[in-house]
Structure 1
Amino acid sequence: MGFPKIHRAMLLKPAIEAHFSDVETVCVEEKMNGFNVRIVTVDGKIIAITRGGYVCPYSTERAQKFLNIDFFEEHPELVLHGEMVGPDNPYIPKKIYNVESLELFVFDIRHKHSGIPLPLHERRQLAEEYGFTQVRLFGEFPKEEAPLRISEIIRELGKIEHEGVIIKDPMMEIAPLKYTCSQSNCADLKHAFKFYNDAGRDYLFSRVVREGFQAVEWEETGDDIDKRCLQLGRSILYPMIDSIVNIGNGVRLADEVQMRLSNLETVSKFKEYLRRQGIDAIFSEPEVVGDEFIVKIKKLNKSTNDKTLSMWKGETW
């Protein structure tokens, strides 16, 4: 039922030529910046499962609100894969997609037991029949044209701070590849370096390396490289400097997110869910918004707070 890891193209032209050597065309869909879930039914109820294999109570409530259960009753052998996107997102809140609260964008449908995906165009047609919101399809391109077309798409997506693309075999017999915008890499780094001692080293380093490969592939020189360096450096240093100053002034850093829900029981379930994940969080009192509730959450980043405070007290690295 899980979604396999998607490998990353670092240089588009050689990666596409090597990876998709057995096909004539590739499809390009948008890679959206949210959190990844699989949607199934258990005992007649829709549930949402995270990439890590956990049933998320908040995602489950939202999926039950978004989705037509007829799909699962008529296709019990299939699993929806989608990205939960929007500002009311307790994992990765984003306001860049013109989504008011939270929305599920379907990017794959697979067979439950085998994990075999539906061909891309068949999947899109089926999702459309049931009224599911889908990730954007930019087109199907001859393999030889794809690197240039994708570079053009990436430049435009970067201007609006979107994440990137997924490159797919139309029949979905070959595993997809992903490729992301520089602006998305830097946005990730900006958030991660705010909590520099909580973010994994591989997470940070890999995003810096991507910038080098993209600069080479795009044949950047002089001013373009300087601009990329400045954007990258600002993404790393400014948030870290702010964190050091704030902690030195007695501020405890927290990742502030929120969720919108219909049932307050979901708050208790989500608190327990985060506790089991080892995440310390402070929940606000619910705020009534129409017929729903907004609950704000402060997720405490203990390692960065403690490490930085110890430096202010004179400890060494």
Structure 2
Amino acid sequence: MTTAKRYPVIPDPSILQAAEASGVLEHQQAFDVPYRRFVDAYRIIPRGTVLLPEGIMPGYPKIGRIVSLRGLARSFDGPFHVEEKIDGYNVRIVRSGGRYLAFTRSGLVCPFTTDRLPDLIAPSILEAVFTAHPDAIICAEVAGAANPYIDSHSARVPEDIALFAFDVMALDREHFWPMEERNRLFLEYGIPAVPMFGTYRATDLEPLRDIVRRLDEEGGEGIIAKHPNAPVRVKYVTPSINVDDVRAEAPLELELPPEYYVSRIVRMAIALRELGLEQKRPELAAKLGHWLLSGFDRALDELERSGAVAKTFKCRVREETTIDRLIQHLNASSRTVQVKELTRRKENGWWVVEFRKEFLRSTSILTSLLGGKVVFD
């Protein structure tokens, strides 16, 4: 893993002009706030780094993965913090231009999350936090079936969506807040946060296995281990979540690389053995095979019914204008996914929107195959 992926990075001013000339530094504006974002990694600067009027917001670095808990000893030689990994999408929340904005991992303002922020974190909490810490960046996961991004049903969110804060960064600074300070902030202001399990060492394998076994039983995604003061983080997932990943993405088997599925089978097989959950192997193997086949059947059914491989999403927002911003945002975020609004209506004070994402690459490949295209393998 490169250094740029291990910790928050602030670009040197001398490279900004070169980055803009190369096309990786893009001008944007949302809610009357101008900003620039790195659309791709540039030198050591990660994708999603944002230049705001108030300062530079580092891109959230990638987190290393281990497929065996024994790997903790390679990242930590002392105590580390363990918390639950929530299955959702990543946002960074800042105050800019006098309002609160939620940025996606790619560095775009998310109109959906920004609209729903008052439901995710009480406005009084946001006001208190950013008055005391105006340069703070709250890093969080938003989970729940009623989201516009991922086909994921977190066991922690039975309906709609919820937010779980897990890190704090600062504008113009290349570090995370230390765990003790982060925990104090979450507790003092009542910021909704990920479930935390305490401090462990790499030799505490059985207690850590107990945590993961319980999460697997509850439908959780896994754990993240974090150094108390340094930007070292690794993640480890439950065996069952790998099957749920396959369920969600099986309709896109022609679009995703084979490694997507193979890596999940590898993780699941190793975790079942390591956690002593071999008795679950027949059940998970049956589910895996079922979703690989029936999931792709869903793609065939949808193509036959509507002429495109697609998924339908439904979510609710406070303002009707958010729907237009959201559809525009989703269409601008990908060249291979086309988003089409199906319905919008006012319901119990909410604006409820239903839309479909058409996956152009899968549609094209599958249409060609069904049309009799000759392939050589």
Cα distance in 2, alignment partners of residues 36 and 201 from structure 1: 24
Cα distance in 2, alignment partners of residues 220 and 64 from structure 1: 41
Cα distance in 2, alignment partners of residues 117 and 62 from structure 1: 25
- Which residue number in structure 2 is paired with residue 42 of structure 1? 96
Amino acid corresponding to residue 99 of structure 2 in structure 1: K
Deviates more, 1:32-41 or 1:251-260: 251-260
- Which residue number in structure 1 is paired with residue 117 of structure 2? 63
Distance 1:52 1:289, change over 3 A: same
Contact 2:82 2:198 in 1 (8 A): yes
1:150 partner SS: helix
Cα distance in 2, alignment partners of residues 289 and 131 from structure 1: 30
| TM-score relative to the length of structure 1 | 0.89
2:107 is matched with which residue: 37, 53, 78?
53
1:261 is matched with which residue: 317, 331, 335?
317
2:214 is matched with which residue: 156, 169, 190?
156
Deviates more, 1:37-46 or 1:224-233: 224-233
> Is 2:183 aligned against 1:121?
no
Distance 1:72 1:244, change over 3 A: same
- Which residue number in structure 2 is paired with residue 80 of structure 1? 138
Q: Offset at 1:211?
A: 2.2
- Which residue number in structure 2 is paired with residue 275 of structure 1? 331
2:374 partner SS: coil
Cα distance in 2, alignment partners of residues 41 and 113 from structure 1: 14
Q: Offset at 1:134?
A: 0.5
Amino acid corresponding to residue 143 of structure 1 in structure 2: A
Amino acid corresponding to residue 38 of structure 1 in structure 2: R
Q: Offset at 1:184?
A: 1.0
Q: Offset at 1:293?
A: 1.2
1:240 is matched with which residue: 292, 296, 302?
296
Kindly, what percent of the aligned residue pairs are identical?
Answer: 25
> Is 2:350 aligned against 1:292?
yes
Contact 1:20 1:174 in 2 (8 A): no
CA deviations over 1:139-180 (Å, ceiling 9, x no partner): 2224311x22222222222223221111122x2314111011
**May I ask how many residue pairs the two structures share in their alignment?**
311
Cα distance in 2, alignment partners of residues 192 and 205 from structure 1: 13
- Cα RMSD, aligned residues only: 2.2
Cα distance in 1, alignment partners of residues 154 and 85 from structure 2: 15
Structure ranking higher on relative contact order (CA contacts 8 Å, 6+ apart) = 1
1:185 is matched with which residue: 242, 260, 269?
242
Distance 1:117 1:249, change over 3 A: closer
Amino acid corresponding to residue 184 of structure 1 in structure 2: I
1:107 partner SS: strand
Cα distance in 2, alignment partners of residues 204 and 53 from structure 1: 27
Contact 1:2 1:115 in 2 (8 A): no
Q: Offset at 1:132?
A: 1.2
Cα distance in 1, alignment partners of residues 231 and 321 from structure 2: 42
CA deviations over 1:170-207 (Å, ceiling 9, x no partner): x2314111011121111111121112122244433322
| TM-score relative to the length of structure 2 | 0.76
5+ residue gaps in structure 1?
A: none
Cα distance in 1, alignment partners of residues 249 and 322 from structure 2: 28
> Is 2:166 aligned against 1:107?
yes
Cα distance in 2, alignment partners of residues 220 and 280 from structure 1: 41
Contact 1:243 1:253 in 2 (8 A): yes
Cα distance in 2, alignment partners of residues 229 and 284 from structure 1: 36
5+ residue gaps in structure 2?
A: 1-57
Distance 1:249 1:300, change over 3 A: closer
Q: Offset at 1:208?
A: 2.3
Cα distance in 2, alignment partners of residues 28 and 258 from structure 1: 33
1:167 is matched with which residue: 204, 208, 225?
225
